[in-house]
A and B are shown apart, each in its own frame.
Chain A
Amino acid sequence: GQQLNQSPQSMFIQEGEDVSMNCTSSSIFNTWLWYKQDPGEGPVLLIALYKAGELTSNGRLTAQFGTTRKDSFLNISASIPSDVGIYFCAVRLSGTYKYIFGTGTRLKVLA
């Protein structure tokens, strides 16, 4: 089936550093989303992307929808301890209103 691969799988960073992660697919998708999930909670929507090449920011977060429509990346600038969590990308399946989720990137921040 369709799969979204996220990299890195996990990462440790120093507080204050910038973070970059990406999400790739073998298929084209027209809607890409980024979510953050804290332990024991549901995912929270960070950024939604609807147009190829689109670059969107939300505070310290910036995400881009790849021009090939097969990838997206998420950047976090000046990371802080509360950025800890799992970041998931998600895409809407064409012709449906269902979403599939990526494998996740686990972020751990060293204070």
Chain B
Amino acid sequence: GAVVSQHPSWVICKSGTSVKIECRSLDFQATTMFWYRQFPKQSLMLMATSNEGSKATYEQGVEKDKFLINHASLTLSTLTVTSAHPEDSSFYICSASRSRYQPQHFGDGTRLSIL
């Protein structure tokens, strides 16, 4: 089946640091990937749609200058949390699908903790 890899799985860093998270589709090409954020005991909230070769589409309320998304190839999307602060601490998960109308498959998530 489809495999999506996310790295790193766990990050702890100081306030003000920028953190980059990678999402790779390992056995298929993904023109579109998605980034979600999940707070403890809550559901997944879509942050943005990452489009290969073009700008990401952000959901309402998500700061595009805070959460920079780059989708430079058909197998890699990156999310950079710029100048991270404690309120940015969360579980970030990416997903991808073989085609637009097929189900999404998720990476294992990145636990981000900002001190």
On A, residues with C-beta under 8 Å from B are 31, 33, 35, 40-45, 48, 88, 92, 97-104, 106
Contact = CB atoms under 8 A, between A and B. Distances in A.
A40 B104 contact: no
B93 A42 contact: yes
In this complex, the interface size class of chain B, counting residues with CB under 8 Å from chain A, is 20 to 34
Contact of A99 (B42, B104, B107, B108): B104
Given A45-B103, A97-B100, A40 B46 contact: no
A98 B34 contact: yes
Say what secondary structure dominates the interface of chain B: strand
Given A40-B111, A42-B6, A98 B103 contact: no
Interface of B: 4, 6, 32, 34, 41-44, 46, 49, 91, 93, 95, 97, 100-101, 103-109, 111
Find the residue from B101, B104, B108 having the highest chain A CB count within 10 A.
Answer: B104
14 contacts: A40-B109, A41-B108, A42-B95, A42-B106, A42-B108, A43-B44, A45-B103, A48-B103, A88-B43, A97-B32, A98-B46, A98-B49, A99-B34, A104-B42
